[in-house]
């Protein structure tokens, strides 16, 4: 018994009943932190719901609500009749992080590779009719258009073409986009996208694209088109990209609602 109070078991979590955040959320967050922090190893069995409830001083229903939340997030697995087990996000189980609201550079870095860019074209022009639609512009507005070959560890991976409204973006030069993350630049100017709609298709490579990417004409490419909006609801970017099908794997995680 000596010294046990110095380190409480990993499923003991501080609770504040006076707090505005519900107790079951506090329990869930506490356990999630212990799981992600490695205090609760993968496969570990949690105490029984009744015991956990007693230890934490809450009702079993509250514990169940917390556990349901974590199971929904994939951090726990519940097996009727045998118990509740930790399902830690082991690095080797999630070989690649998720393609989310990030730009190419972050995406590649999160795969453990080094992103690069080579500018193929830079212009300041009027928007195409399509860009007028997607970026909510008038035909007389001006836009920046950047075309870059994107590389991962020096190998060609994608050709990316971005269009940004000059009115929202502010001044932009070719140097700004050479070997720099466009999303990083947007963030530096307080224009980080908070919402985006992205389309994905599969296309056969045209000769010009095939040449840039180092694949045979006709090779399968993942074609994406994305429109991003800033927090105040203005469109900030219309990006079109063609990824090498043999080197790029788009990953996403989808969640349903919550139990409540």
Q: Which residues make up the interface to a second copy (CB under 8 A)?
A: 61, 68, 70-79, 87, 96, 98, 100-101, 136, 192-204, 218-223, 229, 231-234, 243, 245, 248-260
Q: Give the C-alpha distances (Å, rounded to integers) separating 8 from 1, 70, 111, 212, 239.
A: 12, 21, 36, 58, 51
Least distance from a second copy to the Cβ atom of residue 149, Å? 18
Q: Give the C-alpha distances (Å, rounded to integers) separating 112 from 27, 93, 115, 248.
A: 33, 15, 10, 13
Q: How many CA atoms lie within 13 A of 28 on its CB side?
A: 21
Q: Give the C-alpha distances (Å, rounded to integers) separating 25 from 37, 49, 54, 75, 258.
A: 18, 16, 17, 14, 12
For residue 250, the partner it binds in DNA, a second copy, none, with Cβ less than 5 to 8 A by kind, is: a second copy
x-or-dash pattern for DNA, window 44-63, by CB under 7 A? --xxxxxx-----xxxxxx-
Least distance from a second copy to the Cβ atom of residue 159, Å? 14
| Footprint on residues 153-192 left by DNA (CB under 7 A) | 190
Least distance from a second copy to the Cβ atom of residue 83, Å? 12
Nearer to DNA among residue 87 and residue 147 (C-beta)? 87
Residue 160 structure tokens: 């990316």
Least distance from DNA to the Cβ atom of residue 67, Å? 7
Closest C-alpha to 241, from 126, 150, 131, 133: 150
Nearer to DNA among residue 188 and residue 203 (C-beta)? 188
Contact 102, 183 (CB under 8 A): yes
Q: Give the C-alpha distances (Å, rounded to integers) separating 234 from 141, 147, 160, 254.
A: 15, 22, 21, 25
Cβ atoms within 10 Å of 85's Cβ, excluding its own? 16
| Footprint on residues 14-33 left by DNA (CB under 7 A) | 20, 22-25
Taking CB under 7 A as the criterion, the residue among 79, 154, 256, 257 binding DNA is 79
For residue 49, the partner it binds in DNA, a second copy, none, with Cβ less than 5 to 8 A by kind, is: DNA
Least distance from a second copy to the Cβ atom of residue 78, Å? 5
Residue 186 structure tokens: 């947007």
Least distance from a second copy to the Cβ atom of residue 89, Å? 9
Positions touching DNA (CB under 7 A) are 20, 22-25, 46-51, 57-62, 64-65, 78-84, 190, 232, 260
């Amino acid at each position: 018994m000596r010294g046990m109070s110095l380190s409480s078991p990993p499923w003991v979590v501080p609770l504040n009943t006076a707090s505005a955040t519900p107790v079951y959320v506090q329990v869930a967050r506490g356990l999630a932190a212990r799981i992600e922090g490695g205090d609760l190893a993968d496969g570990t069995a949690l105490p029984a719901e009744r015991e956990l409830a007693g230890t934490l001083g809450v009702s079993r229903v509250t514990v169940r609500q917390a556990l349901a939340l974590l199971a929904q997030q994939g951090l726990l697995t519940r097996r009727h009749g045998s118990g509740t087990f930790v399902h830690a996000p082991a690095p080797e189980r999630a070989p690649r992080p998720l393609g989310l609201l990030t730009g190419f550079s972050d995406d590649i870095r999160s795969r453990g590779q080094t992103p690069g860019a080579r500018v193929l074209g830079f212009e300041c022009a009027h928007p195409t009719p399509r860009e007028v639609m997607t970026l909510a512009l008038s035909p007389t507005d001006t836009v920046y258009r950047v075309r870059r070959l994107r590389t991962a560890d020096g190998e060609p991976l994608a050709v990316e073409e971005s269009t940004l409204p000059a009115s929202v973006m502010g001044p932009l030069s070719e140097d700004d986009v050479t070997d720099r993350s466009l999303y990083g630049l947007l963030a530096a100017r307080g224009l980080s996208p908070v919402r985006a709609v992205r389309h994905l298709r599969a296309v056969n490579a045209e000769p010009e694209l095939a040449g840039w990417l180092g694949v045979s004409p006709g090779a399968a490419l993942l074609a994406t088109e994305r429109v991003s909006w800033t927090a105040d609801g203005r469109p900030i970017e219309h990006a079109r990209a063609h990824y090498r099908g043999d080197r790029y794997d788009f990953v996403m995680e989808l969640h349903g609602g919550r139990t409540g």
